[in-house]
Structure 1
Amino acid sequence: MYAEKVLSGMRPTGRLHLGHYHGVLANWIKLQHEYPCLFFVADWHALTTSYDEPGTITQNAMDMVIDWLAAGVDPSQATIFIQSKVPEHAELHLLLSMMTPLGWLERVPTYKDQQEKLTHKDLATYGFLGYPLLQAADILIYRADKVPVGEDQVPHIEFTREIARRFNHLYGKEPGYEEKARESVKKLGSKRAKLYEELRTRFQEKGEEEALEQAKALLNETQNLSHGDRERLFGYLEGGGKMILVEPGALLTEASRMPGLDGQKMSKSYGNTIALREDAESITKKIRTMQTDPQRVRRTDPGDPEKCPVWQFHQIYSNDEVRSWVQTGCRSAGIGCIECKQPVIESVLKEQEPMRERARMYEEDPQLVKNIVADGCEKARKLAQETMRDVREAIGLDYN
């Protein structure tokens, strides 16, 4: 039940660009071979800031999923789904909102940040204040223990851990919990029960994290435990109650180093992007007309690669030999800017070719994408329903 799981999502803002690929998708593609992964379209999250322009969300979502598939996200390795198609996210969000202190939400760093950045929007809304809690529900509903995030998102994961802790503390105690926990220990068999008790004591009395990890591994390896016993033993281990929601950990990802065509960060709002699946002619033209070191007015003027946006592309796409050729040629005016750009053009086109190839069948038959998403939503919903059954029971909303 507490198997390793990775969860990550993206807001549907339409077609993705190279910044998304190098910052997020390349990492997803690596992770899908290492863990069970759930990747979702965060369409409700898109409404937190774009509630007044909802018309484009569904088309943007489909375009974005095609980009994921084109980049190499594999639906046979990862579950691809749409947030709003799994209504349990909303139910868990609602139930968590009953026990979340308002001050916790107001302290999330992005709350004030975004309000200052997006001054043209009225973000004094209930949905915007609560979006970190919806994000927490997205993670907790799948009991995902790994969430790939950049440095700036770590506070959101910490917030989610606090929510899980508070929920387990409030609702994890059942009548006669201690006796039930001791009965559950016996079901491990005498040898394992003895080891479990030793590890539990080492963790609770001496705070040994290693003992905690060993005990968790012991429980994960024990096959014949019921769902309730397993949950109880996880909670008993840490001195709490039943562990109903799992505290996630942040899988730190490197920030994307992908610059835009003008040297700023690649972003649609700066109009400096190269889209995934963009046609070869358009890519070639964009890179050829990229600005270079302003000091190189004429072909014979020496330049400085450090002051040139094209050099930033070389750092991502070129090998040491090509980079050395650029450094020498630019500083001595031995090569011109057009020559310098050619290897970048070739590398970007080479990277994009398989993406365009993979995307073709989905563009020609949109039903394929719909089937992948429908299949993913069904798988995700089954997991979400299991969690919600336990959550309702813990809160006392179980009417069976």
Structure 2
Amino acid sequence: MYPERVVSGMRPTGAMHLGHYHGALKNWIRMQSEHPCLFFVADWHALTTHYDDPSIIETSTWDMVIDWLAAGIDPNKATIFIQSKVPEHAELHLLLSMATPLGWLERVPTYKDQQEKLADRDLATYGFLGYPLLQAADVLIYRASMVPVGEDQIPHIEMMRELARRFNHLYGKERGFEQKVQEAIKKLGSKAARSYNTLRAEYQEQGKAEALGYARTLLDQAQSLSQEDRERLLGHLEGTGRIILVEPQARLTEASRLPGLDGQKMSKSYGNAIALREDRDSVTKKIRTMPTDPARVRRTDPGEPEKCPVWQLHKVYSDEPTKEWVLKGCRSAGIGCIECKQPVVDGVLKEQEPMRERAQQYLDNPKLVREIVEDGCAAARKLAQETMVDVRSAMGLNYR
């Protein structure tokens, strides 16, 4: 059995905005206190759509890492690294590609969806088609148990699970597997061995999912087993061979509740975003010039908050008394739009203040960021190399 581990990454596409914070980073910050976490800059993934202009990748990478640290990602709790600095990702991607059916890649929903959204780019490349496979390698190489994703990414996690299952089925049947399984069962002791065999039969013959859970717990608690024997017995239990690659679970995260300044999804490309560490004066100006309910042409005109983008920000940044004040004041024309916007300004600036403070030490001393990433890359690579030893051996590539 492998320890619970969380893996997630982001493409370096420039400065992060508050939509990223509310949509992903807040979840990362919470999870880093609950489980071992690895967070990586997906610079190779950035090339799948920006291969013709990679000039912004390096600068965007360092900016993004500073944003992560500013938001509250703690390098003492989480491993922060750069994808391309762990070349084992590419090796596993290559080896997985040898046995991945082409149809699996073509059926990923985001494949055609992204081609339509990015119609101005030439995406008829293997890199773009193989994006989900590289994404799978990013996770499977750390034998991660959980991947935080939104609902739209669930098909990618399902594909990762299928790939792990296929790999274990193809390559997990080592020579003498059945004999080694029987030897491992004997190490459990007679009582635990009987329980294991009974639970395996209940799972495989009757489809009892709870039997699988009980059997896994039994193996977890068996002090007499080596890690390899646990893997063999788990594979025997599930009807495969050794569990070389772990099937990750999707950890559903809340969708961002923070819209952009115009009410649409916050996005730099829409010009409606507030950067994580944006200047105070710029933030104030952006919010004060936000569009409001079109019905409020004059100060004396009543409005409807539900039709106003500012109200959506109040839902995130204002307390209940303030929201009641807005609802009553807007509908009665008792307050003006500038008055209504001020609590949002105050809320955003208050949220950003500690981020700016945390970021300053890294802006003053960029060497600190490099050292954090260097240490993270070394830690991630050690885990990745351990997986690749097993993968190469299973595929007959362990030359001696």
Normalising by structure 2, what TM-score? Answer: 0.98
Measured after TM superposition, the shift of residue 216 of structure 1 is 1.5
Aligned residue in 2 for 1:53? 53
CA distance in 1, matches of 2:38, 2:224: 27
Alignment deviations for residues 343-381 of structure 1 (CA, whole Å, 9 cap, x no partner): 111111110011001001011001101111011111110
Tell me the C-alpha RMSD between the 2 structures: 1.0
User: Paired residue for 1:200?
Assistant: 200
Residue deviations 1:151-184, cap 9 Å, x none?
A: 1100000011111111111111122211111111
**1:59 corresponds to which letter in structure 2?**
T
Q: Distance in 1 between matches of 2:291 and 2:61?
A: 33
Give the aligned partner of residue 259 of structure 1.
259
Runs of 4+ in 1 over 4 A off after TM superposition: none
Q: Which residue of 1 aligns with 2:244?
A: 244
Q: Give the Cα–Cα distance (whole angstroms) in 1 for the partners of residues 189 and 89 of structure 2.
A: 38
Q: How many residues are paired up?
A: 400
Letter in 2 for 1:24: A
- Greater shift, 109-118 or 184-193, is seen at 184-193
The answer to whether the 8 A contact 1:80-1:372 is kept is: yes
Preserved CA contact (<8 Å) 1:2 1:220: no
- By how many angstroms is 1:127 displaced? 0.4
Q: What is the CA-CA distance between 1:226 and the residue it aligns to?
A: 2.2
CA displacement 1:39-92 (0-9 Å, x = unmatched): 100000000000011111111011000000000011111111110000000000
CA distance in 2, matches of 1:11, 1:223: 42
Taking the aligned partners of 2:359 and 2:191, their CA distance within structure 1 comes to 55
Instruction: Quote the offset at 1:199 in angstroms.
Output: 1.9
Cα deviation, 1:272-327, whole Å, max 9, x if unaligned, reads: 11000112111111111111111101100000101100000001111111111100
CA deviations over 1:97-131 (Å, ceiling 9, x no partner): 00001011010111101111111110000100001
Q: Which residue of 1 aligns with 2:148?
A: 148
Unpaired runs of at least 5, structure 1: none
Where 1:191 maps in the other structure, the secondary structure is helix
**Alignment-derived partner of residue 102 in structure 1:** 102
Q: Which amino acid aligns with 2:309?
A: P
Q: Does residue 306 in structure 1 map to residue 303 in structure 2? A: no
How far apart in 1 are the matches of 2:220 and 2:76? 25
1:269-284 counterparts in 2 under 5 A? Answer: 269-284=269-284
Is the Cα contact below 8 Å between 1:43 and 1:61 reproduced in 2?
Answer: yes
Asked if structure 2 preserves the Cα contact closer than 8 Å seen for 1:22 and 1:256, the reply is: yes
In structure 2, the residue corresponding to 1:220 is in which secondary structure? helix
Further displaced range: 99-108 or 179-188: 179-188
Q: Give the C-alpha shift of residue 224 in structure 1.
A: 4.3
Map of 1:1-400 to 2, 5 A cutoff? 1-400=1-400
Listed as ranges, the gaps of 5+ residues in structure 2 are: none
Percent same amino acid at aligned positions?
A: 73
1:259 alignment partner AA? P
1:191 to partner: Cα distance: 3.3
SS at match of 2:228: helix
Q: Distance in 1 between matches of 2:361 and 2:174?
A: 53
Q: Which amino acid aligns with 1:366?
A: P
**Counterpart amino acid of 2:358?**
R
Aligned-pair CA distance for 1:225: 2.5
The aligned amino acid for 1:44 is: W
Point out the more displaced range, 221-230 or 148-157: 221-230
TM-score, normalised by the number of residues in structure 1: 0.98
Task: Give the whole-Å Cα distance in 2 for the aligned partners of 1:290 and 1:275.
Answer: 16
* Whole-Å separation in 2 of the counterparts to 1:140 and 1:71: 27
For residues 245 and 220 of structure 2, the distance between their equivalents in structure 1, rounded to whole angstroms, comes to 16
Cα distance in 1 between the residues matched to 2:376 and 2:193? 39
